Amino acid sequence: MSLPELRPPTTRPILTADQIRWLALACLLLVIYGSLVPLRFRAIPMGHAIAAFQEAMSAPVRFESRSDWVANILLFIPLSFSFMAYLSVDKPHAISWFAAVIVLPICALLSAAIEFTQLFFPPRVTSINDVAAESLGALIGITFWLVFGQSFIARFRRLWNDLGGEERRGVSLLTAYMVVLLLIHALPLDLTISPVEIYHKYRDGRVQLVPFAGGNENIWETIQKHLTNIAYFAPVGFLLTRLAQPHWRQPHSWPRVLGTGFGVAGLVELVQLFVVTRYFDVTDIITGGFAVFGGWAVALTYRQRQTSPNATVFVAWVLLLMFINWQPFDFDFTLDVMAQRPRRLALIPFADYYRNNYLSAFDQIFARIVLFIPLGALAMLAFPAQRQRGLPAVLAQAVAFTTMLEAGQLFLPSRYASVTDVIIESFGIWLGTVLGRHMGNATQSTG
């Protein structure tokens, strides 16, 4: 009797055309919904709407608000890129050029249709500037795909397949995380290289050269600031242990790791020096550098034990998120306060974010996603049984936890609960579970 042929485990394909179709649809729905928030419909005669739209579209294009232009450009880059990917992925390059001829006018018409619809949803404003900026964003997204779209998909697939195995593409992982980290700290992208503006920034107290000198800050806000910074930089240390060079996994390399941590944190902080509305603080370089070292030390410990992070690390991250969301813990459970709290609950998703600058809203969204991704990943690594749960069960657990966090804010006078935060944080946890499940399964199959 012959033995059955042993075949290597098959890898589930990722970023196929079918998967990208859902990604493109999600981008489309987000663009439309985000353009109409806070959804305050006002009926006006169609003739008046057409006349108002024609007047707005006949106005000259003006570069009045840099942040609005950047926000609208960024809004359509992923939309057009995902459209191009859906139509062209894994197909001859000539198809991409044909798709570009289709996608660009579709995005421009979509932008114009959204601007027309905004006439019925005050306080949204219809403007030729938005159509110009969004069309430019669509062109940039299309160009990105034409230049390196297919190679990006191929690199992402290789990275995904190697994630968790012995031959890890740690450089790619670390580079991707660094790009996200720099983007978060560079938003709202109001960049400047003017020495005069940087000097005024220093005079206004937004350049702190003395470590731990912010004595006028609230103690709770100071602690949250430091813990958030630690949460941002600790994954860098974890990713250092996944680089190919063996010296990153040797205990005697701690001076190199510590120096790298200070270098990474210093680079991120240097970027903030040239962002007008951001703070430059030497303290963040110190806490960020030690956070990189701490993440490396914890990851190295578990690697030497040949085990995955346990429940202790998971609980520690839960407590970190609870602290960030609930400080200063001035809970008030009186009946009068409880009766007034529902009025402060933002029920319409993203309506509360709309009140802020677009790029500031992007900043908050990115930051929350990055903070909650590790929780989902740690859940999959610390509790292997969770990897068998389906998407509905994972999402239900994520929504339950984030709803608990937001419900607690109903009883904090200095906070307000938000349905938007539940959606964003749950999405971050789900992304983390996808990443952690793949890492855990890959490690188990190679162990």
* 4 domain-assigned: no
* 122 domain-assigned: yes
Q: For residues 409 and 338, state if they share a domain.
A: yes
Q: For residues 383 and 292, state if they share a domain.
A: no
Residue 6 banded pLDDT, cuts 50, 70, 90: very low
Residue 166 banded pLDDT, cuts 50, 70, 90: very low
Residue 383 banded pLDDT, cuts 50, 70, 90: confident
* 2 domain-assigned: no
Considering 158, 175, 202, which residue would you say is the last residue of a domain? 158
| Residue 427 confidence (pLDDT) | 93
Please write the tens of the pLDDT for every residue from 124-133.
889 999 999 9
Range of the domain at 102: 17-158
Task: Give Cα separations from 143 to 77, 79, 85, 130 (angstroms).
Answer: 10, 13, 12, 20
Q: For residues 302 and 314, state if they share a domain.
A: no
* pLDDT at residue 216 tops 70: no
* 137 domain-assigned: yes
| Residue 341 confidence (pLDDT) | 64
Q: What percent of the chain has pLDDT over 70?
A: 88
* 5 domain-assigned: no
Q: What percent of the chain has pLDDT over 90?
A: 39
Residue 167 banded pLDDT, cuts 50, 70, 90: very low
Please give the model's pTM, rounded to 2 decimal places: 0.75
* Range in 181-185, 269-273, 282-286, 399-403 with the lowest mean pLDDT: 181-185
* pLDDT at residue 447 tops 60: no
In the predicted model, what is the mean pLDDT of residues 23-32? 92
* pLDDT at residue 9 tops 60: no
183 versus 188: which is more confidently predicted?
183
* 3 domain-assigned: no
Q: For residues 339 and 416, state if they share a domain.
A: yes
* 11 domain-assigned: no
Considering 274, 307, 340, which residue would you say is the last residue of a domain? 307
| Residue 439 confidence (pLDDT) | 73
Q: For residues 350 and 295, state if they share a domain.
A: no
Q: For residues 95 and 178, state if they share a domain.
A: no
* pLDDT at residue 414 tops 60: yes
Residue 262 banded pLDDT, cuts 50, 70, 90: very high
Considering 131, 158, 185, which residue would you say is the last residue of a domain? 158
Q: For residues 64 and 28, state if they share a domain.
A: yes
* 406 domain-assigned: yes
Residue 1 banded pLDDT, cuts 50, 70, 90: very low
Residue 5 banded pLDDT, cuts 50, 70, 90: very low
* pLDDT at residue 340 tops 80: no
Quote the number of domains for the chain.
3
Q: For residues 36 and 141, state if they share a domain.
A: yes
* Range in 87-91, 166-170, 253-257, 339-343 with the lowest mean pLDDT: 166-170
Q: For residues 263 and 317, state if they share a domain.
A: no
* pLDDT at residue 264 tops 50: yes
Residue 45 banded pLDDT, cuts 50, 70, 90: very high
Please write the tens of the pLDDT for every residue from 68-121.
888 889 889 999 999 999 999 999 989 999 999 999 999 999 999 999 999 999
Please write the tens of the pLDDT for every residue from 351-377.
777 776 666 777 788 888 888 998 998
Q: For residues 374 and 402, state if they share a domain.
A: yes
Q: For residues 317 and 430, state if they share a domain.
A: yes
Q: For residues 294 and 323, state if they share a domain.
A: no
Residue 7 banded pLDDT, cuts 50, 70, 90: very low
- The mean pLDDT of the chain is 84
Residue 2 banded pLDDT, cuts 50, 70, 90: very low
* pLDDT at residue 12 tops 70: no
